[in-house]
Amino acid sequence: YMGLQERVRPFPQVDNQGGSKCCIGFDDQMLLHGGGSRHPECPERILVIWNRLVDQGLAEQCKWVHGRMATYDELARAHTPEHIQNVFDTAKGKIYPDDVDTECNIHTSQAARLAAGILVEITLNVVRGFCENGFAVIRPPGHHATQDQAMGFCFFNNVAVAARAAQFEPNVSKVMIIDWDVHHGNGTEDIFYDDPSVLFFSVHGYGEGDFYPGTGHLDRLGVGKGEGYNINVPWPCFGVGDDENIKLFQKVVVPVAKEFSPDLVIISAGFDSMRGDPLGQMNISPSGYRIILSMIQDAVCDGRVVLALEGGYNLKVIPNAAEACLATLLGQPYTEESQPEPSQIDVQAECDQMIETVIQKIQPYWPNAFPKPPNDISNEIVVLLDNE
């Protein structure tokens, strides 16, 4: 681990702390967490991303948020006291959770608090008007962590903690969380499932419900006052690429976002939905992420968008996705070395059907986003005549 810290590029000494468009966060102490280089969620993930952003001259154009740990009160807005204490106790050697996939060590508590704290600090910079947008290069990821349980490489739900922190600001009441990680954000869904002030949208691999974590069915719409504010798009197949995701954002995400009209958008930016990921089996390119990110920036809340790194396990390709996203946040062009690959015809057809199914499912909750076509009126007239 100490060798990894020595490989971290220093943040460029540029005096742009007051006037940058984008806020960026990173801390090399997060490299110390976890089970090592053989684990998919390895420390090198944030190392290769950070070094790329520095080498390409993008990081120096950002306001740098120095690492700080999330406070107990910040964490307690999204997690139970028992769960918070369990994570804290890993610093004393406690093994938590009892999950062979989610490894911890004595540095896990600090890293998890840094990940959440950095994202909170970036979010507050954005909502207070110091920056337009932000990117948190953080680990461990967070979107699988529920109110009371660590799982799936996640300990604290970073985006949930940040959303709650934002809602304590006077100019933020509604937050939209978009999760494009290939795995369903079950933890984020759990935390906000009955809350109409947070619109959660997740697009993820699902198959027949046998893809980790096995949650995220489109029937999961929320409960109580939160019904309709939890939207899942469970892709039934793999190999889904740029065209399908762009179509989804055009037809579903952007119209719903406009009707919801959030004060802030937080994106669970998992790059395991990218072509070449060993766990994801999807086909998105860096340009694909760039396009859907710019669509959200242009659609709502004057571009107040904050990205939080979630998954992404191919060390050769995740820096490309991160570079494309940060360039987009900075309003700069990004040129991809290779052309995106179109999806197979059967994949396109299955995704088109899923998009239409999702629209039918959520239309009653978002009537302005999906106004009924004129032929629906004639159908209703026929029904009325039949009832006469």
User: Which residues are catalytic, by number?
Assistant: 144
Burial class (CB in 10 A: 0-12, 13-18, 19+), 20: buried
On whether the CB atoms of residues 102 and 152 are closer than 8 A, the answer is yes
Edge-to-edge, what's the strand order for the sheet holding 198-205?
Answer: 63-65, 22-25, 133-136, 305-309, 264-269, 175-179, 198-205, 230-235
Q: How many CB atoms lie within 10 A of CB 82?
A: 9
Calpha distance 45→36 (Å, rounded): 11
Q: Closest Cα to residue 343, out of 334, 353, 351? A: 351
Per-residue DSSP letter, 154: B
CA distances in angstroms from 34 to 1, 109, 160, 179, 192, listed in the order given = 10, 10, 22, 23, 28
Per-residue DSSP letter, 303: G
Alpha helices in the chain (DSSP H): 2-6, 44-55, 72-76, 81-88, 108-127, 158-167, 186-192, 242-248, 254-260, 286-299, 318-329, 345-362, 374-387
Q: Closest Cα to residue 178, out of 73, 289, 327? A: 289
